[in-house]
Chains A and B, each alone.
Chain A
């Protein structure tokens, strides 16, 4: 086992996260609009805005502001919101949990759709199921997620009244309520994610099924399902892990949109609000956290590759 490779990947991941912190700080500095003005509102003349900027620490040199912030982050202190003066870190945690729940729920829904459809259509190419799966996945990939969300809300929430159109209840407060709030957003992201995954799983399975060693196993007389179980799946795992990894990162971007449509109090919505309010520390915090999650997921996928080195055994 080449552990130095692992260490290298981890070091690179840390480098990337640090790079993100610089990038997001730079972005925030470039964004026009003044948080001092946002807080003071209409009734602020130039003098008062200046005084408020002083109070907010916005007039210090950029490097100082960055170092201050970043060293704070390493200690777990993400600073205080410029708008509410409340600390950012607890907010990040509170919002992170719902986003994580939503991402996982969407992934599960997606997998539940994609696995059966993808595998079956790979096993029986050009059959009726294959065609249906194809059509479903094509449509699913093309639907704008916010539109799907709106349609689901209009149907299940406003017309049928079965589910709430947005909002959130923590799972430990009321599990049923939590479920009713998370179903629609998870369905929205999950259906689309599932459609994308179906195509990948199908082509991954097809590739593997056509490999020579599979044909050899066939020739040896093993039935299809055994072949599938023992050889094809194991080797398709790598591709599948890639897919899941990619989907998780894509989902973290997709949930931003879904959260906004469903007024779901997660990181995505928090970051959009932070942009609109020019709440710099909040924006920096949310983007840094989300980028870190994405980087960590990629790292984990890389490490799984490393350990899942395929060795084929013949019966």
Chain B
């Protein structure tokens, strides 16, 4: 009798346990189906991966194209369209073995020929394509299809980080040659990714549909994604709170508290792999004098700038790499807070004890740069620097910044995963992103060395030295490192906020409530 009693109790408990585990699993089990309504911030510009630099465009391409390698959510380099890769003895050639049976969204299988086509188009100097092609290789890089599923990339000098560069973003995604229109442009790229572009309504909306031929079984969960740009923060946030959209790309930092308090919304953050900075025009006086730049770096109150520009959702930094990255260097020579005395002394040494006049160049379409400029104006007036602000919108800003027509500009670099991205193209003499005119032979030698090998410890030591030179020379004065913030409805699951700011929608699914 007693045994029977205990047996039934245990059975009941076990049954209860199984039942609750099962139903809990039910809640966690991704469901297929549904359309995700998404609001981006800015319009996408071109959808041609070899031309565009717009974040919105690249995020759409992020879900439509795939690269040979990619970074997982923990930022480890993992295979994607390539299953494995190896470097030749002389370091000049990388060989990639491609995954078999990967289909483009139009039903054709991807082969080595497609890789060759894609990369050659990107590197074509006549094509007027963007400088990001540097991620495939410098001038003289040769791509060859050895056989149907093997590709080699040969560079004039050893590029140890080739697999890393190829996986940074989808600008190097593999496209089908059928994507190219008669006039050579690409309006709708055809890729191997989890989604395909079904409909483009100018810059008013884009509809992505699940790729029926996608090589990863069971993915994506969503049937479709509809993306609308909503540049106005208030409109976008209210659309989310009102249920018109399910997911938004960015929220105004001052709305953070209000949205966190809203139960129907999930707000998620991650430290960005980015930095906001001041770039100086080293071709102009007084910024050609390193002491002036250092004086400014000593004088500014980074915490206050962070509070004013981004409502405190950031950390002050004195170097490009934030604490969230494995490449973080603990080197902060400019003191714990604003040091006006040292700043003043440096200015006097440089001959500017009475101060000088200057103009800031923030970008009117990125509010935090303008707010930073306003605060900088007030802060630096304390050491005798009087400043004005010129805040054009993006088109004009690019002209001025690209042609040394400024004193000091305010901007940010984002999506920085590998050390090379923090140092190489921006600060190496004469390279495409070097808008300050910085040139230091020791630094050049170090960053060249850093990208020729792929051993982490060796590279860390090299970049530590490079970092020190750069922070001391201060062509950039670093201000703060923002939090990446995403907000979405509570029935959206499976989205991961990534420090590199990539938005991967293929793991997202919708539950019913």
By the criterion CB–CB under 8 Å, are A276 and B395 in contact? Answer: yes
Q: Which of B132, B203, B232, B394 is A263 in contact with, Cβ under 8 Å?
A: B232
B173 to chain A minimum Cβ distance, whole angstroms, is 16
Contact with B along A32-51 (1 / 0, CB 8 A): 11111111111111011111
Say whether B45 faces chain A, with CB atoms less than 8 Å apart: yes
B202 touching A43, Cβ below 8 Å: no
Residue of B nearest to A50 (CB): B128
Q: Which of B86-94, B236-244, B319-327, B440-448 forms part of the interface with chain A?
A: B236-244
Task: Count B-side interface residues using an 8 Å CB cutoff.
Answer: 47
The residues in A between 124 and 165 inclusive whose CB is less than 8 angstroms from any CB of B are 153, 157-158, 161, 164-165
Contact present for A94 and B202 (CB under 8 Å)? yes
- The answer for the CA separation of A52 and B130 in the assembled complex, in Å, is 9
- Interface of chain B: mostly helix, strand, loop or mixed: loop
Give Cα distance in the complex from A22 to B244, angstroms: 42
- Whether, in the assembled complex, A86 has its beta carbon less than 8 Å from a beta carbon of chain B, the answer is yes
Binds B, one of A10-18, A77-85, A210-218, A307-315: A77-85
A158, B128: Cα distance in complex, Å: 46
Q: Does B126 contact A (CB under 8 A)?
A: yes
Q: Are A43 and B132 in contact (CB under 8 A)?
A: yes
A268 within 8 A of B: no
Least CB distance from A112 to B in Å reads 27
Q: Among residues 206 to 257 in chain B, which have CB atoms less than 8 Å away from a CB atom of chain A?
A: 230-232, 234-235, 238-239, 242, 244
B390 at interface (Cβ–Cβ under 8 A)? Answer: no
Contact of A39 among B45, B239, B402 (CB under 8 A): B45
Q: Which of A33, A42, A157 contacts B53 (CB 8 A)?
A: A42
Answer whether residue B384 sits at the interface, using C-beta atoms and an 8 A cutoff. no
B230 partner residues in chain A, CB cutoff 8 A: 166-167, 263
A-B contact pairs, 30 of them (CB 8 A): A35-B395, A37-B395, A38-B395, A38-B398, A39-B46, A40-B51, A40-B131, A41-B52, A43-B425, A44-B130, A44-B432, A45-B131, A48-B128, A49-B128, A55-B128, A84-B44, A84-B202, A84-B203, A85-B48, A86-B200, A90-B202, A94-B202, A158-B234, A165-B234, A165-B235, A167-B230, A167-B239, A262-B235, A263-B231, A276-B394
Which residues of chain A have C-beta atoms less than 8 A from B32's C-beta? none
The chain A residue sitting closest to B431, CB to CB, is A45
A280 to B169 CA separation, bound complex (whole angstroms): 30
B204 and A39 contact, CB distance less than 8 A: no
Q: How far is the CA of A43 from the CA of B200 in the complex (A)?
A: 25
Q: Across the interface, do A158 and B238 meet the contact criterion of CB distance under 8 Å?
A: yes
Chain A nearest CB, measured from B287 CB (Å): 20
Q: Quick check: is B337 within 8 A (CB to CB) of the other chain?
A: no
Q: Which 9 A-B pairs have the closest CB atoms?
A: A41-B53, A51-B128, A43-B131, A166-B235, A52-B128, A33-B395, A91-B202, A165-B238, A263-B235
Q: Mark A50-78, 1 if CB is under 8 A from B, else 0.
A: 11111100000000000000000000000
How far does the alpha carbon of A54 sit from the alpha carbon of B185 in the complex, in Å? 13
On whether the beta carbons of B127 and A83 are closer than 8 Å, the reply is no
User: A85 with B185: in contact, given A32-B396, A48-B130, A51-B125 (CB under 8 Å)?
Assistant: yes
Whether, in the assembled complex, B201 has its beta carbon less than 8 Å from a beta carbon of chain A, the answer is: yes
Q: Are A42 and B433 in contact (CB under 8 A)?
A: yes
Number of residues in A with C-beta < 8 Å to the partner? Answer: 46
- Across the interface, which residues of A come within 8 angstroms of B126, CB to CB? 51
B184 within 8 A of A: yes
Of the candidates A37, A40, A276, the one having the most CB atoms from chain B within 10 angstroms of its own CB is A40
Q: How far is the CA of A34 from the CA of B130 in the complex (A)?
A: 15
Instruction: Name A's B-contacting residues (CB within 8 A).
Output: 32-45, 47-55, 81, 83-86, 90-91, 94, 153, 157-158, 161, 164-167, 262-263, 265, 273, 276-278
Contact A164-B244, Cβ < 8 Å, known A37-B398, A84-B203, A263-B232: yes
* Complex alpha-carbon distance, A136 and B386, angstroms: 46
Give the residues from 448 to 480 in chain B that come closer than 8 angstroms, CB to CB, to chain A: none
Q: Does residue B187 face the partner (Cβ distance < 8 Å to A)? A: yes
B residues 388-434 near A (Cβ < 8 Å) are 393-396, 398-399, 401-402, 425, 432-433
Contact A48 B204 (CB under 8 A): no
Q: Specify which chain B residues have a CB less than 8 angstroms from the CB of A278 in the assembled complex.
A: 395
Interchain CB contact under 8 A, A40 and B130? yes
Question: Of the candidates A32, A45, A153, which one forms a contact with B399 in the assembled complex, judged by CB atoms under 8 Å apart?
Answer: A32
Residues of B within 8 A of A35 (CB): 395
Contacts of B425 in A (CB 8 A): 43
**A39–B52 touching, CB < 8 Å:** yes
What B residues does A164 contact at CB under 8 A?
238-239, 242, 244
| Mask: chain B, 36-54; 1 = CB below 8 Å from A; 0 = not | 0000000111111001111
Which one of B187, B231, B234, B399 contacts A37 once the chains associate, using CB atoms below 8 Å?
A: B399
Establish whether residues B399 and A166, one from each chain, have CB atoms under 8 Å apart when the complex forms.
no
Are B125 and A41 neighbours in the complex by a CB distance under 8 Å? no
B129 within 8 A of A: yes
| A278 CA / B235 CA spacing, docked (Å) | 24
Residues of B within 8 A of A50 (CB): 128
Given contacts A84-B203, A164-B242, A277-B395, contact A39 B235 (CB under 8 A): no
Residues of B contacting A83 with CB < 8 Å? 43, 45-46, 203
Please give me the residue from chain B that is nearest to A40 by CB atom: B130
Q: How far is the CB of A289 from chain B (nearest CB, A)?
A: 15
Interface string of B105-146 (1 = CB under 8 A from A): 000000000000000000001111111100000000000000
**Nearest-neighbor residue (CB-CB) of B201 within chain A:** A94
